[in-house]
Amino acid sequence: MASNPYFSLAVLFVVALGFGLAPLGLARLWAIVFSPAKPNTVKNAIYECGLVSKGDAWVQFRSAYYLYAIIFLIFDVEAVFLLPFAVAFTGLGMAACAAMLVFVLLLVEGLAWAWAKGILTWA
């Protein structure tokens, strides 16, 4: 086994793992042996601003927010590409303008699709 070329790597791996885990284990041991845990409802409250905690930390957000974020991306990406396009507009050829038109139409199609699906009306 010791003749295996990967043997030293394995030893190093075990030592490195021990180096990381030993302090954690010692700290845990110290806490268990010497430091008694004293949890209570006030201490374990989820909110840390001093006010009384209400509800749960695992809140669910409406999926409508997610759809809005996606639709926002349409305008976001469009702005990022349109600005340099507008700056370099006078020096661009026919092909570049056509490519940009296709790109914008693709995004407009996405928006039209969302509109048709009724996502833009807040339900």
Span interacting with other proteins, options 3-11, 47-55, 70-78, 86-94, rule CB under 8 A:
47-55
**Cα-based angle 114, 69, 73 (whole degrees, multiple of 5):** 75
Distance between the two ends of the chain, CA-based, in angstroms? 67
11 vs 22: CA distance, rounded Å: 16
The residues in 51-90 that bind other proteins, with binding defined as CB under 8 A, are 51-52
Span interacting with other proteins, options 2-10, 34-42, 69-77, 87-95, rule CB under 8 A:
34-42
Span interacting with other proteins, options 9-17, 50-58, 77-85, 113-121, rule CB under 8 A:
50-58
113 vs 71: CA distance, rounded Å: 10
Closest distance between other proteins and the C-beta of residue 26, in Å?
12
Instruction: Confirm if 122 and 64 have CB atoms less than 8 A apart.
Output: yes
Interface pick for other proteins out of 45, 64, 69, 98 (rule CB under 8 A): 45
